[in-house]
Structure 1
């Protein structure tokens, strides 16, 4: 393997906002004994950060055990709702074909760099048949309390340990929809394909420094060509 492609999940590959909010509400109630009034916005942030802000804006003083208890409850609540993901959520246009197309490039490993905790990341992608091209072992997840740029480097290190090859900015591509994703790529050491399918605009993604901004993933061949070019293989050679 000589190139690593890391995907953001929410609003890049899938949108399961309704189910996620329900799981958050149940986890909040279990941990605090109170109903959730306001959920902190995601904005490309990890679940760990969203949890702490959600506690704060609902007037709950965070305790040492709140984060691990909340993460455990969030995972259980989400798993209990996994059958609702495909009916109450949606796969983003072109996501399946983009993942399949990138998988056909020679020497590529695909994983995720997501604010979602690992178990929920698996459920989100599996619900839409998107998990078969993803190596979840080498990804970066929302229960890991690192800035996203550091988490990108953690994913690169995991990929190196598994595949025996160092991954750097010349061989790593991050695909995501938020300015935070772009900032993580710039700081952490990856090329960046931004898709304006989330809450960040085309102009904001370009200003943040994305190498390429697409409206969405609806043209998978464009995504594949961009990954090939950004990893030094403009011909886009396919695996045999």
Structure 2
């Protein structure tokens, strides 16, 4: 099971924007005027577009410097996450329920850089359900579909079993998540808790669309339906 983080499991948009503003000032020496919209994209892509729309000519060192600065800025605001952010409805119960399924490995496939993804989930006590070492993250400059396949390779190396389309399920809230799953050959459970509507998620090709994560039995039933009995170990 691969979970998207933002607007699927948690919402910490205010803190994230402030961290971007701090990182932008540190890297460029200028205040951030406009932040590129996330729209299911990785931090690496958001960083490049943010620099461009603010008139910064990028060099080879801009991305690694910005990622480092973003990690530091986000960590300094860690105490704000629990106060100004929120767990998405049903997310904790959903993670608990999936963790009880036999042979399931839970990780994340997120546009957020790894250190910040960990902090986002730790702020709400969700990290205990996730193996972060086999996930895919925003500092890895791959299209999300390729990043999904990278995560599958990590599971194979660490757990010793292959994760193909029959036993990989992505849960996310954006049409981009759906497109990534389709390209990578994984199953897709879309949750209409983000900026993509139910209709858009269906149109993008999601196997199952849920309004949110509050119906835990429906989520578990969808996972069981989408993974084959022969390959009950799933990521």
Q: Decide whether the 8 Å contact of 1:86 with 1:128 is kept in 2.
A: yes
Deviations 1:141-176 (A, max 9, x none): 000000000000000000000010000110000000
Show the counterpart of 1:68.
Answer: 64
Which of 85, 92, 116 lines up with 1:89 in the alignment? 85
| Unpaired segments ≥5 residues, structure 2 | none
Q: Choose the corresponding residue for 1:57, options 53, 57, 68.
A: 53
Unaligned 5+ runs, structure 1: none
Q: Indicate the residue corresponding to 1:216 in structure 2.
A: 212
Once the 2 structures are TM-superposed, how far is the Cα of residue 221 of structure 1 from its aligned partner?
1.5
- Look up the SS of the partner of 2:106 in the other structure: strand
* Counterpart for residue 110 of structure 1: 106
TM-score by length of 2: 0.97
Residue 136 of structure 2, aligned match among 135, 140, 148: 140
In the alignment, the residues of structure 2 paired with residue 166 and residue 189 of structure 1 have an alpha-carbon distance, to the nearest angstrom, of 14
> Residue 105 of structure 2: SS of its match in structure 1?
strand
| Number of residues of Structure 1 aligned to a counterpart in Structure 2 | 230
1:188 matched to 2:158? The reply is no
**In structure 2, which of residues 187, 203, 225 is the aligned counterpart of residue 207 of structure 1?**
203
Residue aligned with 1:60, SS: coil
| Per-residue deviation, 1:232 | 2.0
CA-based RMSD of the aligned residues comes to 0.8
The correspondence for 1:158, drawn from 131, 154, 161, is: 154
- Report runs of 4+ in structure 1 exceeding 6 Å deviation: none
Q: Equivalent of 2:11, from 2, 15, 24?
A: 15
